Copies of this chain bind each other. A is one copy, B any other.
């Protein structure tokens, strides 16, 4: 049982943005490269995060993206509720399940999923990067490795 890659990429992107010095801009291309994921996928989730006020996207030559709120004001559970399309734990529609009108499993899964989300709502983005220095070392090493001709960011 996993989050969709969409939500997963969204959370990873927010964690990276939260490790940057306040106000510093980065780019979707850079975030995608760091995590070695498709830029197209990352663009979609970053766009949603921007629409919802979590990420600020500045256009133009000196544009880029950065967090629009402090990490302590971004709730991990709420981000999951926002990004994850199916929070029922099951897909009753493919194939269409005949139990739908009378399914107790669906009710049990909904209750269990709520417990999952409540635990996640106990965490803010600040909690997820409270080892910020350690994460910065990982990201810097990775950027240096991936761009051997350039100095590490």
Contact = CB atoms under 8 A, between A and B. Distances in A.
A4 interface: yes
A98 to B, nearest CB: 5
A133 to B, nearest CB: 10
B1 A84 contact: yes
A43 interface: no
Contacts of A11: 105
Copies of this protein in the assembly total 2
Chain A interface main SS type: helix
A104 B120 contact: no
Contacts of A98: 34-35, 138-139, 142
A1 B89 contact: yes
B36 A91 contact: no
A91 B8 CA distance: 8
Nearest to A105: B128
Nearest to A129: B104
A39 to B, nearest CB: 13
A128 B104 CA distance: 5
A87 interface: yes
Given A1-B3, A97-B12, A128-B108, A102 B35 contact: no
